[in-house]
Structures are given as structure tokens and as C-alpha cells.
Amino acid sequence: MSSSRRQYPFHLIEPKWQKIWDEREAFRAFNPGDEIPPTHPFALRHKVSGKVSAAQLPPKFYILDMFPYPSGSGLHVGHPEGYTATDILARYKRARGFNVLHPMGWDAFGLPAEQFAINTGQHPRKTTEENIATFKRQIKSLGFSYDWSREIATTDPDYFKWSQWIFLKLYNSYFDKEKNSARPIAELIENRKLQIPNEPESSLRAFVDSHRLAYIGQVPVWWCEELGTVLANEEVVDGKSERGNFPVVRKPMQQWLLRITAYAEKLLQDLDIINWTDSLKEMQRNWIGRSEGAEVDFQVAGSSEKIRVFTTRPDTLFGATYMVLAPEHKLVNEITTADQRDAVAKYKGEVANKSDLERTELAKEKTGVFTGAYAINPVNQEKIPIWIADYVLASYGTGAIMAVPAHDTRDFEFATKFNLPVVQVVQPPDAKMDWHGFVGDGVSINSSGPNISLNGLSTAEAKKKITEWLESKGLGKRTINYKLRDWLFSRQRYWGEPFPVVWKRSTNGTLYHEALPDSALPVLPPELKDYKPTATGEPPLARAKDWVNLPDGSQRETNTMPQWAGSCWYYLRYLDSKNPNAFVGKEAEHYWMSGKSAGVDLYVGGTEHAVLHLLYARFWHKILFDLGFVSTPEPFFKLVNQGMVLGEDNQKMSKSRGNVIPVDVPVRDVGTDALRLYEMFMGPLEMVKPWSTRGVEGVYRFLGRVWRLFVDEKSETEFEQAETTTDPNKHSELLKLVRLDAAITDVAPTAPQLKTLHACIKKVTEDLEGLRFNTAISALMVFVNEAMTWETKPAAVMADFLILLHPFAPHLAEELWEKLSAIGKQPSANLAYSPWPEFDPALLVENEIEIPVQINGKLRDVIKVPADADNAAIQAAALASEKIKPLLESKSIKKVIVVPKKLVNIVAS
């Protein structure tokens, strides 16, 4: 790359315009109530200034990037792919007259800074600030049109004050099933007091605490020894921690949880009202994992106990030949007979010691033990043995199943191994099919008892009949189960938001928690010298005794919130990032989040957050919506996942492979405009695609062609010579030496020139609306290739082209626009706020069109006909073609198909 000659002085142009944009605050987005300076380009474009109301502002467009975690290693060329796409759209929408909100910030709490603190003692805040500085410098060097006045960092106390505040809203709310909505906990308390007057305080507290959306639970959690913290289900991948890839184990611990399961149905249903890709919606659907079925009670033989099972196939109840409980099921010890006690205890011990990996990944063979007890099948009164086995999960359904080996793969494997009976109760639709382990729908057979028969019914009918029967007898009911578990929300870390909660002891000695008042926010973390957990395994915050122990004898919660807390609502803070009185002001929230496309208009980010951030943020948003703090049920109206950028070797970029390309390299060698253009030219936004240094040079050359299309060659030579003899600090002034090409004049465009321009306007506009950046860029290239041949270049055409170019290569476009100002034809002094050119279809009309002529579907000729020729004329011209005639001589024409203005196909034999 260093061997090639510089295409154009991007090294002067890019810093120049970045500085000008900063000084003008060119991309500041204005809220209702803001004071707009009359000289601001937005004021000039929209003819509004001073204090404005929402009604005076143009329609809004909110374009959001997933804010980055500022790591120490800086940005590589994969990072700006999504940022470039959103920036292009932001600039395009500004040109279309929208009030565009395009913000950036930092998801700055996180493990690496804390690990560094443990190793070196450097405060995580310092590490974080340094990393933010690096990221900000790099992102600014890319020339994105962010409104930096709204910049946020989740680690800023003015920010996390509101993360804590929202937590308190969750803590002080419950989910009202009847209203299908979150409600203030005070309503629950009031109702409870009406129902049970004079309830003892501890009992009332237990009731209330068990309904909060943020609650303490003693649950089996994922503990990661290496990280010294617990992790959420979503953060565990294949038995390892998502961050760091360390082993995790199940361990019952007392932790904070958020009741996301209460929102399972809403989170599922509202996927239908948002414009996301099917694959992403599907991932969330799978994660929520809704399944419809029935709960059925089985009496334990010779006992008063009942065991409730969940099944999606109640129609196969007659085929239940045994029952299986999860080893952790609470009735196991109670029902186990004396002679099976040892075997059961031994098995439970084995299961408890198995890692999650052993229990799922490696456990190809089914294991289990008979409890000695029997259950009574309610439909036919048959006694079936009760087993325990670890293929039944305690955490799903009721932790117990009825086993129907004939029609369930797992039950079939188990029954085969332990020689349990297999009874067919479903006839497959294809009689020749083997019914052993057949799990599809069919017709019920062998399904008749003293009081009910399902024989002859289809699976769907049988399900309905048996469920109604069970309900009528009080033996079961229709149920919906979800795979989704409540969200584990506490971490044993230093570098996170402390919980605004204290622990107190009641008069009878029991410990209870209590929320701090809003006035206590923000709760700042204490200063520490040592960031490790304590010797007794308590979180690092427990080291700060003065901080933990409050004067009134209560103690602070020493867990902190996970990183997701800050990213769950940051898109709302951007709307009103400096508001000291609320997490977002009402008017700002309403202006930016409501409208035709409710919420964020376009959100671009990677797939890695499909079930993490994107699910959590939807959940919080829905609570805030229920409580009346936001005006839309969903936060992100349209969401696009950009595909990953691979290294030049077609592998995922990673330090260990040595194929990482830092953004600084292309920015130095070809400039950010070329980098931006290449990021988009590589291929469709959503696709995974490899980086190519050659490819970057290709678009860099294109920008050089644009430069040469506009500037006078001689003046550029003078500029280059001056550059070698001038003080580098004065170089940017030298840009003035470069003059506009003399061929650019204020003349009327010719018809072909207008046609070239308008074809480009049409293609670029349509492609931007469809996020097809790669083909939009190729349309710009087509224009330039054509315009290079022009002897005179009408200023008006060239100006319109610059408007089309500017979202993609804003620095170069601004520089050329400034030079074009000398001609005085451009409509506005500010390119970034110049109206997008309108496409005129009349200018694309051709006099003559080319029509391919096929014989039996094979191309044989291309003829020219007048554009207004009718089908008969086109057919006549095709048959008259000198190339076509001889080919038809020995054939008879069966049929001639004429597609108007498109094609002729002659069917002949």
C-alpha cells in the first residue's frame, strides 16, 4: 500500500471537516424545549430557531448503534461496520428532512477492568476512562455524525443513579396477572391488608417479597469459580462462562432475581409487532420456549401424596407405563421404599456430583433408579412404577413426567435399557411406519378406560377430549410452560452498580431487606485497595466495613448488578442524557419514542445479543411501559444484525490468529472515507464477509476518481509541490490551492447527463431505504465512470451527485462541496443539511429500447424498437430480424410471447 501514490489529500481533508463539524455542533439533535441557535444548519434548513416546541420540530428518526464495551485493545475493522451503516442512514435521513437522533456511549462496567484491578491495584475507573478515551479517539477519527453532547457512560454516577432507580421500581412492583401488567407493590399490600387484617409483619413481608419483580431467591445458580461470581443462564454456554470460557457449576445460593418469567407471554407475543428478522425472533421464541399441554395428577399408591406431571401429549396418557421424577424432586425421599433407599441415595449422590457437562453433553446413556413406589394412572387405574432419573429436569414443568415410551424418544431409550413395558397408543398415519418411538400426530388406539375412550380420535381431538375430561374430574388442567427462567441479577463483583438495598434484623431476629429511598441515590461503590473476594468468599464490597455497616445498624447489600443493567435502558437516557430530575423527561421521551414507527426507528448490532441484551432490554422496557414511564410497549421497532467481518484468511478475527486489523491502519493508509465505503461495499450488511486490503484500495481508487472528476489537475500538482516545502501545520490551508476543474460550469445539463444523474438518484435512494449499501455504492461508481467522459460538467448535476455521495464519504463530499460553492449553484451552504435530490422518472424515458428475442427460451438476437411500440409492433420487429428469420425457416411457429417493453420469446418446432 505504501508503494502506491496518494489518491487525494484525505489526510488533510478528514481532520479538517471533523473539526468543523465539532465546532458547529453540526449533528446536535434538538429536543422539544431546546434553544436552537439561529445560525445552526438545522435552524437554516427547517426555518426554526429559539426555543422550539415538539410541534415546530420536523418528524424524528432515531438511529441507534449497540454501544460498545470499551476494551483495552481498541477497535478493529469489524467494529465500524454497523456504525458505518447507521451513520450513512443518519446522514441520509437528515438530508430527507428528519430530526435525526444518532448517539453514542459506553457500556463501561465489565470484567476486564476489574481483573486488571485485582492484578495491579489500579482502580477500574481509571482503566475504564483510559479505554473510553482510546475508543472515543478512534470512533471520532471515523467521522460519524453522532450527537456527542448526549454521550453517556454506564459507569458515570449520574447514569447509574438511574439504573439503581429503575431497579427500585422493579423492587417496588409486582406482576398483576388479572391486569396482565406490572403494578406498584403498594396496591398489593393494600389488598392484602383488606383480605387479612392484622397479619403479622413477618408473614406480610414474606408474602410481599414473594411477589416483587426483583426478589431474593435461594436457587440453583451457575457459579464460576475462576471468575468468582455467579452468572445468568444466558451467560453460560456449553457448561462454560460466556466471558473467559471457564467451567461453571450448579450451586444453590441466595441471589437477587428478576421475575422475567412473568413477562414470558408478552415478550413472546409482542415479537409480532416489531420489525426484526425472522431468525432473531425465532431465537427469542426458542429461548422463551413456550409449550402447551396439561398437568395431570397421579395418586401415589398406598399414600395420600399426589404427583403432578406436565405433558404436551395428554392424548398418550393410556400409554404411560412408568413415571419419572427428577432426582431433586421433593417427594423422592418420602415415597422411596425401605429396600430402595440405599440405591436412591446413592444415585442422588452421583447426580449431585456430576457437572452440567456430564449430565447433558456426555450423558448419552440413560441412567436411573426405581424408588419402589407406584403411581395410579388416573385414566385406567393401572399401577405404574415410579423411577428417578436425571433426564428429567427439576427446573422444568413440575420436575416429574409420565413416561410414554411408545411415543417419546427419551422414554423409549430409558424403557429399553431398563426393560419397562412399551404400549402403543398412537397409530401413525402411514400404517407401514414403525410405531416404536413414533412421536408425531396420528390416531389414538388402545386408549380406552372405564370412563373414557379416545380410540379413533386424531391426536388434536384426543388432546382436547382428554384435557376436558381431566378438568371435569379435577385430575388435571390445561397448562402452558416456558423454558425461560427468572433472571439471575446479582454478581459478586466490585465494578458494577451497588444495589440500593439494605439488610435489617427484625425484633424476632430474622434478616430482611429494605429498599433505600430515591434520595439515597446514587449508591456509590466504596474505595478499595484490594478488589478480590474476601477469604470467606464474600463479594469484594464486603471488604469495605465502613461502607457496609450503616449507623442505624443495618448493612448494605454487597452484591452488585450485572453489566446488563446499564445496557437495558441506555437508549432511553440518550433522549435526555443530562436530565438531573428523571431518567428521561416526559416530553423528550414522547417526542423521540412515539410516532409511526414507535421506539427506536433502527437499531443495528451483532447477533451475539439475541437472547441477552435484546431480551433483557425488552423486559425492562415493558415494565417501564406498564408503570407509565414510557409510551411504547417495545423499545426497538426495527432491528438489523450486521454480519461479522472476518480476517483476510476467512477466519474470525482474533489476537491468537494474528489476523486482526485495527481501524487505525486503513484510516492512516487510505482514510476513513475509503474505510467507510469499503465496509459497505464488501457485501450485504447482514452477511458474514472477509476483509480484503485489495478491496479497500479499490474503493480508495474510486474516491480518487471522484476527486479528479472535480478538481483541476494542474492546481493539484501545485498543491503537492507546495506541500513538500511548507510547514506541516499550515498544510490544511494549502487545500485552497486546489481549484475546481474548469469543465465544471454553470451550464444547463444535457438530456443524457440528466439521465445518468437521475438513474443514480433512483438507485441510491431505493437502495438506502432498503439498506442495500453495496449496490448503492456501485450506482455511484457507474455515475462517476460515465461522468469522467463528459467534456462539460454542469455544476447543478455535480452538486446533486455530492449530496448522493455525502452519506458514504462525508469528508470528501464536504471538501468538494465547498469548492463547488465558488460556482454559487448549490442550494445550501451546509452539505449535511442539503435536501436530498428528488428523482424525476420523466428524465429516464428512452426513445428507443432494446428487446431480447428468444427462440424456445434461448437468446438469439437483441432488437431495437421505439419505446412506445406496442406488442404487435414488437412482435413484427422480432420476426423481421435478420438473425431470427433464418433460424425459423425450417420451423413452424407455435406461439409468440411478448412481454411488453421487455422481451419476445418465439415458441417454434
Partner RNA sequence: GCCGGUGUGGCGAAAUGGCAGACGCACAGGACUUAAAAUCCUGGGACCUUAAAAAGUCGUGCGGGUUCAAGUCCCGCCACCGGCACCA
Select from 446-454, 541-549, 721-729, 781-789 the region that touches RNA (CB under 7 A): 781-789
Maximum CA extent, the chain: 109
| Contact with RNA (CB under 7 A) among 687, 748, 873, 880 | 687
606 binds RNA (CB under 7 A): no
CA dist 88 and 488 (Å) reads: 38
Q: Which is nearer to RNA, 514 or 686 (CB)?
A: 686
DSSP 531-548: -SPPTTS--GGGG-HHHH
Q: Which is nearer to RNA, 8 or 116 (CB)?
A: 8
715 binds RNA (CB under 7 A): no
690 binds RNA (CB under 7 A): yes
Minimum Å gap between C-beta 504 and RNA is 37
Q: Which is nearer to RNA, 746 or 846 (CB)?
A: 846
- Residue list 239-278, contact with RNA (CB under 7 A): 278
425 binds RNA (CB under 7 A): no
What ranges in 712-809 are assigned the alpha helix state H? Answer: 713-725, 731-734, 751-769, 773-787, 795-805
- Residue list 289-308, contact with RNA (CB under 7 A): 289, 291, 293
| Contact with RNA (CB under 7 A) among 432, 545, 596, 895 | 895
Minimum Å gap between C-beta 390 and RNA is 6
Q: Which residue, 645, 677, 599, is CA-closest to 85?
A: 677
Q: Which residue, 676, 664, 602, 671, is CA-closest to 80?
A: 676
607 binds RNA (CB under 7 A): yes
CA distances from 897 to 420, 854, 890, 900 (A): 68, 10, 20, 9
| Contact with RNA (CB under 7 A) among 345, 357, 376, 393 | 393
Minimum Å gap between C-beta 234 and RNA is 8
Minimum Å gap between C-beta 759 and RNA is 11
Question: Is 768 in contact with 680 (CB distance < 8 Å)?
Answer: no
785 binds RNA (CB under 7 A): yes
397 binds RNA (CB under 7 A): yes
CA dist 29 and 227 (Å) reads: 41
Q: Which residue, 710, 679, 712, 663, is CA-closest to 812?
A: 710
Select from 467-475, 564-572, 691-699, 727-735 the region that touches RNA (CB under 7 A): 691-699
Residue 536, C-alpha cell as written in the block: 470467606
Tell me whether strands 249-258 and 487-488 are parallel, antiparallel or unpaired. Answer: antiparallel
Q: Which is nearer to RNA, 533 or 704 (CB)?
A: 704
903 binds RNA (CB under 7 A): yes
CA angle 604, 65, 71 (to 5 degrees): 115
Which residues share a beta bridge with 319? none
Minimum Å gap between C-beta 233 and RNA is 8
Residue 789, C-alpha cell as written in the block: 467522459
Question: Is 392 in contact with 328 (CB distance < 8 Å)?
Answer: no
Residue type, 260: I
CA angle 262, 265, 267 (to 5 degrees): 90
| Contact with RNA (CB under 7 A) among 17, 263, 387, 391 | 391
- Residue list 545-564, contact with RNA (CB under 7 A): none
Phi, psi torsion values for 549, nearest 5 degrees: -90, 115
Residue 697, C-alpha cell as written in the block: 484500495
Question: Is 85 in contact with 144 (CB distance < 8 Å)?
Answer: no
Q: Which is nearer to RNA, 293 or 635 (CB)?
A: 293
Contact track, RNA, 612-651, x by CB under 7 A: ----------------------------------------
Select from 19-27, 128-136, 331-339, 782-790 the region that touches RNA (CB under 7 A): 782-790
| Contact with RNA (CB under 7 A) among 243, 464, 705, 755 | 705
Select from 492-500, 554-562, 702-710, 729-737 the region that touches RNA (CB under 7 A): 702-710
688 binds RNA (CB under 7 A): yes
Cell 462517476, located at residue: 784
Question: Is 21 in contact with 27 (CB distance < 8 Å)?
Answer: yes
Minimum Å gap between C-beta 377 and RNA is 15
CA angle 516, 517, 521 (to 5 degrees): 85
- Residue list 36-75, contact with RNA (CB under 7 A): none
Q: Which is nearer to RNA, 359 or 638 (CB)?
A: 359
Q: Which is nearer to RNA, 406 or 623 (CB)?
A: 406
Tell me which H or E stretch contains 373: strand 369-376
Phi, psi torsion values for 755, nearest 5 degrees: -65, -45
Minimum Å gap between C-beta 61 and RNA is 24
Q: Which is nearer to RNA, 214 or 331 (CB)?
A: 331
Look at the chain and count its residues: 909
Select from 45-53, 87-95, 153-161, 309-317 the region that touches RNA (CB under 7 A): 309-317
Minimum Å gap between C-beta 403 and RNA is 8
CA angle 515, 518, 520 (to 5 degrees): 85
774 binds RNA (CB under 7 A): yes
Residue 605, C-alpha cell as written in the block: 448490532
Residue type, 791: E
Contact track, RNA, 645-684, x by CB under 7 A: ------------------------------------xxxx
* Residue 627, helix vs strand vs coil: coil
Phi, psi torsion values for 321, nearest 5 degrees: -110, -10
Tell me whether strands 893-899 and 903-908 are parallel, antiparallel or unpaired. Answer: antiparallel
- Residue list 314-373, contact with RNA (CB under 7 A): 326, 359-360, 363, 366
Reported as half-sphere exposure (CB side, CA atoms, 13 A), residue 285 has a value of 12
907 binds RNA (CB under 7 A): yes
Q: Which is nearer to RNA, 186 or 688 (CB)?
A: 688
| Contact with RNA (CB under 7 A) among 287, 318, 370, 619 | 287
- Residue list 181-240, contact with RNA (CB under 7 A): 237
Minimum Å gap between C-beta 411 and RNA is 7
| Contact with RNA (CB under 7 A) among 87, 156, 315, 408 | 408
Residues in the interface with RNA (CB under 7 A) total: 83
- Residue list 797-856, contact with RNA (CB under 7 A): 850, 852, 854, 856
**Burial per residue of 177-215, b for 16 or more beta-carbon CB atoms within 10 angstroms, e otherwise:** eeeebbbebeebbeebeeeeeeeeeeeebeebbebbbbb
